[in-house]
């Protein structure tokens, strides 16, 4: 039998002191990683709390101003004096702002949908006006464009086509119905074809080879779980678990506060047993009992891989904490710095930028009140896009010079 009397001393051993005992080394590493993960989780929470106090009000103010800007721009959609290019640019502009608001982590989905609904009403009014002015030739050109875009024949009347254009969702419903009809025809043709290049033996052999590796993986996983079940049912670990469960059972406690504490500890123990978390069970045991556990060599040999897996899981958890898409992590990545003072300065600078942006939106709404003023804004946007520098635009002329 191997007695782990050194476990009591592990917590007191300096973490930088190398130990020849692999169990001690793993134990120290797990404790170190747990503290690291807990510390980083606390850092995320503290950083986000500071963000909520300092920055979040400015983010919410920016959302309100952007929503006001979108609504203001949408009121120009039905204006008949806009040219086609200007109307397209206005729709692109509104779409950009809506896309930003939709992806904004602090924007309410309900408020966004309400705004989107109001914009769609203005857009529908504009489209109805445009469709009423379309000639039959223009309608046919539109139909040809749709046929080329989706590579099917839109067999619709002029009025049906206009209704389709007014509600893009109906286009996708039409496409789905068309696709379902084609699939049904293909199935009928397949069933009528009696000749097949493959016999049943081919499909059976393919199925067997395809699933062989999957079955091997399942068998290996089942063997692993079977060995773990044996380890926990027929070893000192099982005795430790039962002894802990007996001591931590909340029904044996009369004091309400202690009863709640034991209830939480019992949950931790149950989860450790379910997840085959040896470290958690040993930790609980050493916390509540003075004696060190004793294991035979076979049990100890199985414990080491489990502790190694615990180390890997803690490292994976740490990477996930750093690189996930949770809002707390995103905020930490944006404002992380070498000191608390620098974090504060970064947040304050961001608030100033948001404040300036809101002031600019306020000025735009107050100044852009006529179609004439909007046209100037739209022309500036169009010119900016057209002025985008293409590094290959002069390639042909340069090539001619050398030839």
How many CB atoms sit inside 10 A of residue 65's CB? Answer: 19
Query: Is the pLDDT higher at 357 or at 209?
Result: 357
- 0.85 surpassed by pTM: no
Query: Is the pLDDT higher at 38 or at 163?
Result: 38
Q: How many CA atoms lie within 13 A of 337 on its CB side?
A: 11
| pLDDT (0 to 100) of residue 398 | 38
Angle 251-257-263 from CA coordinates, rounded to 5°: 45
| pLDDT (0 to 100) of residue 306 | 79
Helices (H) and strands (E) in the chain, counts: 17, 2
Which of the 8 DSSP states describes residue 300?
Answer: H
| pLDDT (0 to 100) of residue 266 | 86
Query: Is the pLDDT higher at 13 or at 374?
Result: 374
Read off the pLDDT band of 145 (50, 70, 90). confident
**Residue 175's closest CA among 133, 147, 139?**
147
| pLDDT (0 to 100) of residue 20 | 42
pLDDT per position as a tens digit, 81-131: 899 899 899 999 999 999 999 999 999 999 999 999 999 888 888 776 666
Among residues of the chain, what percentage have pLDDT more than 70?
Answer: 68
- pLDDT of 307 > 90? The answer is no
- pLDDT of 17 > 60? The answer is no
pLDDT per position as a tens digit, 387-399: 754 555 444 543 4
Domain-wise residue ranges, the chain: 23-54+232-323, 57-132+324-386, 134-190
* Ramachandran class of 151: left when φ > 0, alpha when ψ lies in -120 to 50, beta otherwise: left
Which of the 8 DSSP states describes residue 377?
Answer: H
């Amino acid at each position: 039998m191997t007695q782990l009397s050194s476990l009591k001393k592990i917590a007191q051993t300096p973490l930088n002191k190398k130990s020849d005992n692999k169990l001690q080394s793993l134990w120290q590493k797990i404790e170190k990683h747990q503290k690291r993960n807990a510390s980083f989780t606390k850092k995320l929470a503290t950083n986000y709390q500071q963000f909520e106090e300092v920055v979040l009000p400015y983010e919410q103010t920016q959302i309100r101003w952007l929503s006001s800007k979108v609504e203001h721009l949408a009121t120009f959609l039905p204006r008949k004096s806009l040219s086609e290019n200007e109307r397209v640019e206005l729709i692109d502009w509104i779409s950009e702002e809506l896309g930003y608001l939709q992806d904004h982590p602090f924007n309410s989905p309900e408020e966004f949908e309400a705004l989107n609904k109001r914009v769609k009403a203005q857009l529908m009014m504009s489209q109805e006006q445009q469709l009423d002015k379309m000639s039959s030739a223009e309608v046919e050109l539109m139909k040809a464009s749709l046929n080329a875009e989706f590579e099917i024949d839109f067999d619709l009347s002029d009025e049906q086509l206009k209704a389709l254009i007014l509600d893009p969702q109906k286009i996708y419903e039409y496409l789905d119905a068309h696709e379902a009809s084609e699939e049904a025809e293909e199935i009928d043709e397949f069933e009528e074809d009696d000749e097949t290049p493959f016999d049943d033996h081919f499909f059976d052999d393919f199925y067997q080879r395809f699933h062989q590796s999957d079955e091997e993986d399942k068998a290996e996983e089942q063997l692993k779980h079977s060995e773990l079940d044996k380890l926990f049912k027929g070893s000192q670990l099982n005795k430790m678990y039962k002894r802990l469960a007996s001591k931590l059972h909340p029904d044996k406690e009369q004091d309400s506060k202690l009863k709640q504490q034991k209830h939480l500890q019992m949950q931790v123990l149950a989860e450790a047993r379910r997840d085959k978390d040896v470290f958690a069970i040993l930790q609980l045991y050493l916390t509540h009992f003075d004696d060190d556990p004793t294991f035979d060599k076979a049990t100890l040999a199985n414990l080491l891989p489990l502790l190694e897996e615990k180390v890997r899981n803690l490292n994976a958890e740490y990477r996930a904490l750093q690189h996930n898409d949770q809002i707390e992590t995103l905020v930490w990545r944006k404002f992380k710095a070498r000191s608390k003072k620098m974090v504060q300065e970064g947040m304050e600078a961001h608030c100033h930028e948001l404040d300036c942006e809101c002031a600019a939106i306020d000025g735009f709404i107050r100044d852009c009140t006529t179609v004439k003023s909007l046209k100037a804004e739209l022309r500036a946007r169009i010119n900016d896009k057209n002025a985008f520098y293409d590094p290959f635009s002069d390639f042909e002329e340069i090539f001619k010079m050398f030839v």
